[in-house]
Chain A
């Protein structure tokens, strides 16, 4: 029995989503672009899905472009924004974005663009004054995430968007972690472009969408046929699109009862803090997604915690260097300036609507012993020899 608390990495496919898409993997295999009725009925399904996604976002059907994933959406959005204002060569983003934004920006820097990476404070929050100070008349794009994938901290996107609009910049939001978890209404929004990904909201991997505000001067990133009204070439992934549509419909329903998920998260968080000394919620003082908690356990290392959890059948995630190909810990937690004592031992638990109270109780049952065992081994837990330095206890800087 697996207790899956890594839903910010990916989610299970909702059984109803699977049921909705299955016919399009077997019987209804026509090409939605075909002129015959066999393809035409598939085209109707695609349009239905477009409407379902648009409704989740408070958007119009024609504002939704289906694509393959969040990375494609982010790449497309950035390139579209720059193509819309080719005389502007400045981009503003944040230091805690997903690599699908950061690496594109680094690439563009090599191409002659200037990029400002906004910092965050210890709670993972943006400083709007810093944003305003960074803006110039030459700023083509402001791109921020809606909510951070590691901490769940939600950015004040409408305030960011207002500043971007004031300076005539396009405003893109990477909402991959937020869509389906918090209500989003784009009708009255400052957002021009918004990215979402299916596998974060119980649809399969390989399907995503980009919202493009009506009237935005959009230039396609992927050239070819006339699919998606010429804005994204390539034969449509019909089963994925149908699945995303159904997932969006279910998410909209679920948003009415998301308190359950948040209650589970709060129970987990509060009980862990109550039973385990020397731990803290990273970003706990900021507005956050209801499904995410990122807790730093002082003096121990994240991978070791994950392996202990894994032996108990519990799946979570860590921002430690040892879980990744990099040798540095999470760039998000680093940017927050967390002390080294907590930086390497941070664990993300991300829940979904399928998380049960029993799942939470099982985590609460095993975590204290896991932390105690590792702290018993750690030379820093009882640092009688004074190995820790002052800098380890304050900020990583």
Chain B
């Protein structure tokens, strides 16, 4: 048997928030669900959210899960975690948050927590009118054909969870768990993630986590990739210069290759205001662009607390 925590077993045997949410057409309330997985893959989750539109907040969350003990417990945990959060806060939840809430998961079962995080994202994207097909993870080369997992998704999971082995990648998202023909590709991505530059950022993140390890809030160690970099803190002018440099050197070339562009408009504290231009300005997946192509990059390269917003033209 697997070495499940008491919390996992408790939520498996007595799941909270199981079922669907009926859409009663209440004023200022929207009901939506997100789906991930499939019966072919062996686990699937339909996450239902009841959202207060005016507050952009999750009022209620429920789940329907096809899967094992840890999949059911992870789904139940997710519904508890997400209730009361704004949608932006919810989007910042990581699979590690779910695993930590459960008191940990066996590494071979981490993909259950990833499934939860993805269902949450799917539901919110659906609510915001962003087609799942436009999700950044689904773009790019398909790496694992057995489980339909793209290269960007593998890259993101490696970074977010600081994975170092192929086995870990398989445990977290199943990639490589089928025919095995993508194992070499996963190894390449792991090596890429362990390049000197990436390692330096990881070390800085680890230092920062160590310094802040005395807090006890349940999500205090949320996504390491979004943790604050090590001191000294940036002055305002340094922050702006670094943001400008990352945008010019690393973000714009990528966007321009797809016919888009971005310019820095202003920096107000940790709010980075940008103008999306060209194809990006009219793209249905512009929220993805903001979140993954710009915000995530600035968080990695400059400051983890930065939030990127697009302003109207």
Docked-complex contact B68 and A322, CB < 8 angstroms? yes
**Can you offer 18 A-B residue contacts whose CB atoms are under 8 A?**
A299-B39, A301-B43, A304-B12, A307-B1, A307-B12, A311-B13, A320-B68, A322-B67, A322-B68, A322-B69, A326-B177, A327-B147, A329-B42, A340-B39, A376-B18, A379-B45, A385-B35, A387-B38
Instruction: State whether A379 and B66 are in contact (beta carbons under 8 Å apart), knowing that A327-B170, A387-B35 are contacts in the complex.
Output: yes
Docked-complex contact A392 and B38, CB < 8 angstroms? yes
B64 interfacial by beta-carbon distance below 8 Å: yes
Docked-complex contact A328 and B178, CB < 8 angstroms? yes
Mask, B240-266, CB within 8 Å of A = 1, is 000000000000000000000000000
Docked-complex contact B65 and A396, CB < 8 angstroms? no
List 7 A-B pairs, minimum CB-CB distance, nearest first. Answer: A327-B177, A322-B68, A379-B64, A303-B68, A379-B46, A378-B66, A340-B40
Smallest CB separation, B195 vs chain A (Å): 29
The distance in angstroms between the C-alpha atoms of A69 and B170, with both chains bound, is 32
B84 interfacial by beta-carbon distance below 8 Å: no
Docked-complex contact B108 and A341, CB < 8 angstroms? no
Is the contact region of chain B dominated by helix, strand, or loop, or is it mixed? mixed
Smallest CB separation, B200 vs chain A (Å): 34
Task: Output the nearest chain B residue to A300 by Cβ-Cβ distance.
Answer: B66
Smallest CB separation, B44 vs chain A (Å): 6
Mask, A325-345, CB within 8 Å of B = 1, is 111110000000000110010
B174 interfacial by beta-carbon distance below 8 Å: yes
A308: B residues at CB distance < 8 A: 13
Interface residues of A in 348-397 (CB under 8 A from B): 376-380, 385, 387-389, 391-392, 396
Docked-complex contact A328 and B15, CB < 8 angstroms? no
A310 interfacial by beta-carbon distance below 8 Å: yes
The distance in angstroms between the C-alpha atoms of A344 and B67, with both chains bound, is 9
- Tell me the A residues contacting B by CB distance below 8 Å: 299-304, 307-308, 310-311, 320-322, 325-329, 340-341, 344, 376-380, 385, 387-389, 391-392, 396
Number of interface residues of B (CB under 8 A): 32
Docked-complex contact B42 and A301, CB < 8 angstroms? yes
* CB < 8 Å neighbour of B42 from A321, A387, A391: A321
A302: B residues at CB distance < 8 A: 68
B44: A residues at CB distance < 8 A: 379-380, 387
B42, B67, B71, B147, most chain A CB atoms within 10 A: B42
Smallest CB separation, A48 vs chain B (Å): 40
B82: A residues at CB distance < 8 A: none
Docked-complex contact B69 and A387, CB < 8 angstroms? no
Interface residues of B in 45-89 (CB under 8 A from A): 45-46, 63-69, 71-72
B18: A residues at CB distance < 8 A: 376-377
B43: A residues at CB distance < 8 A: 301, 322
The distance in angstroms between the C-alpha atoms of A376 and B69, with both chains bound, is 15
The distance in angstroms between the C-alpha atoms of A321 and B170, with both chains bound, is 13
